[in-house]
Chains A and B, each alone.
Chain A
Amino acid sequence: MRFTILLSLFLAFIAPFSASAQDNADKLLGIWESGNGKARVKVEKISNKYYGKIVWLREPNDPVTKQPKMDKNNPDESLRATPLKGYRMLKDFVYKNNEWTDGTIYDPESGSTYNCVIKMKDENTLEIRGYVGVKALGRTDTWKRLETKK
């Protein structure tokens, strides 16, 4: 009996913190514009991880072919027909210690994939750091929110 009461009290105490952590994690959801303004990325949640795909491009068409841009720099030649609009450039992020980590970011201009960590500076500003190996060797971009989460 005493154990049940203690367990109930413990769960009642812990539940708000757990819900709050989830709310904070989901603050990443929404549409964000990259620092150079060339692309907008929609972040969505699949199972317990966060993924971001390109939903808008300032220059959607290839200047040579005049057709919608494709992932022409993909290291795997057979996937170069993948449209850039809709491309998942942020993959596999998990929320830990007030940041989204363990994920990768893809740079369509070089065809390179980097480790990445995302920090929220404020509700409408993200700091996206791509790096190779160690976080110190990387570059940070600032993204702005365009639309509140859905």
Chain B
Amino acid sequence: MNTKALLLFWLISPLLLLSACKKEIKTTFSLNNVALVAEGPLTEGSNTAQGTVKEALAAFLKEHNLTPEQITNVKLTKAVVHAPDSVGFDLVKSITLQLASDGAEMVEAGVVNPVPAGAKMATLQLPAEPKNMLYTLKQNTFTLVADLDIKQDTSMNFPLTGNLEFEVTHH
């Protein structure tokens, strides 16, 4: 090994050792009771329900004394939607959930098709390879978008709530 290569090895090896020691921690983070509404009149077929979430990560960062830069990945691990008790999901055939924001690409959160008969809550099938939602959650505001396949026309609004659980990877 020539002298230059040896010198380079001694210079780089502490850095490699340091980065290997930088431990990654996984923490669960939840967004509960996000209110979404599909404004009526609703027509048979696909209708859009939306709900806005502001500063999603703020409380999590404060609680764990973190900066946004310390987070490397946010993975959705569970998504559940609830219908109003009085109505249930009787009117709804399927639900597709997405997260949208001005500063990041829309990401698919999951789907339930068909919605079980008589259900008042539905747990969504998540993507097998979940996308990193960090960029979406870092935005000041993002929109939770639910596409509801409605069985028949109705003049009502359709409100629902969403509970999302994420696994946050950080240093």
Residues of A within 8 A of B (CB): 42, 44, 46-49, 51, 53-56, 70, 76-79, 81-83, 85-88, 91-92, 104
Contact = CB atoms under 8 A, between A and B. Distances in A.
Nearest to B114: A81
Contact of B46 (A46, A53, A70, A104): A53
Given A46-B50, A78-B126, 14 more contacts: A47-B100, A47-B102, A49-B102, A51-B100, A54-B46, A70-B113, A76-B129, A82-B96, A83-B94, A83-B149, A85-B46, A86-B147, A86-B149, A88-B98
- By secondary structure, the A interface counts as strand
A88 B110 CA distance: 13
- By secondary structure, the B interface counts as strand
Contacts of A85: 45-46, 149
Given A51-B100, A51-B106, A78 B48 contact: no
User: Most chain-A CB neighbours within 10 Å: which of B93, B110, B111, B129?
Assistant: B111
Contacts of A81: 111, 113, 125
Contacts of B73: none
Contacts of B149: 83, 85-86
A51 B145 CA distance: 11
B116 interface: no
B100 A86 contact: no
